[in-house]
Amino acid sequence: MLENWFDPEAIAIVLCGTLAATMLRCGLADSRIALVALRRLFGARFDPAKAKAELALQVREIADDGFLRAEPRHFGDPEFDRLSDLIITQRSIQSLHGAHRTFAAARLAHAQTATRVFESAAELAPVFGLAGTLVALAQAPAGAPQGGGLVGAIAMAVVTTLYGLIAANFIFAPLGNAIARKSRREESDREEVLAWLEDSVRRADVARPRPAADTPSIEEVQADAEAEPAAA
């Protein structure tokens, strides 16, 4: 029974045709972004608990040694590695938000591009299912309305149409939606970690014993930076 629904030729027409047409429609660069997003979809997701645990070491070092003696701690996440650098070098909460917005905008653009590519594939898959149907009917032998060749052609036509619908609604469209959902969830988790980091750095800086000759606090640095334009 199952062999009646498995047709390698129909699969090749639908999948290969859809992939080729999608790449031509969206371009090679966007298609590459979609493939990277697909690989990451099945990889490890962003872990806010792990990020907080790694950043807590940075916060502890600031609380113990101050900004000048503390060293940036990196744990492999490009965004928070950059934020660690900014914490130590600039001691500015606003710079953290600016860097976060830059990284978030790039991630969002990539996610939207990947989603658009898979949506295009979902639109094209039924088209190639119909194309496979036409190819199958064109192969039907003439003058033999009840022959086995005609039955086989009709069977291939039906199966190819089915493959197009399945590819669109059970493969490409769900993958695009899954990439969009993962992107939204990751941004929410990163916002949570950023808010935690900002609050932790402020509290660590305020709680740190500060000799008279020590460096100013992060609030004093920001106040001076805001006062300079006004004085000018």
- Going residue by residue through the chain (232 aa), what tens digit of pLDDT does each one get? 445 677 888 889 899 999 999 999 999 999 999 999 999 999 989 999 999 999 999 888 888 877 777 888 898 999 999 999 988 888 777 788 889 999 999 999 999 999 999 999 999 999 999 998 888 777 766 555 555 566 677 777 888 999 999 999 999 999 999 999 999 999 999 999 999 999 988 887 665 555 544 555 555 555 555 555 555 5
Backbone angles phi, psi at 178, to 5 degrees: -65, -40
CA angle 177/49/114 to nearest 5° reads 20
pLDDT at 54: 92
pLDDT at 212: 47
Rounded-to-integer distance, Cα 95 and Cα 101, Å: 10
For the chain, give the number of residues.
Answer: 232
pLDDT at 19: 96
CA-to-CA dists, residue 119 to 26, 41, 137, angstroms:
11, 16, 28
Q: Which two tokens stand for residue 162?
A: 């089915």
CA atoms 92, 94, 95, 100: torsion sign? positive
In 139-216, where does DSSP find H-type helix? Answer: 148-167, 173-207
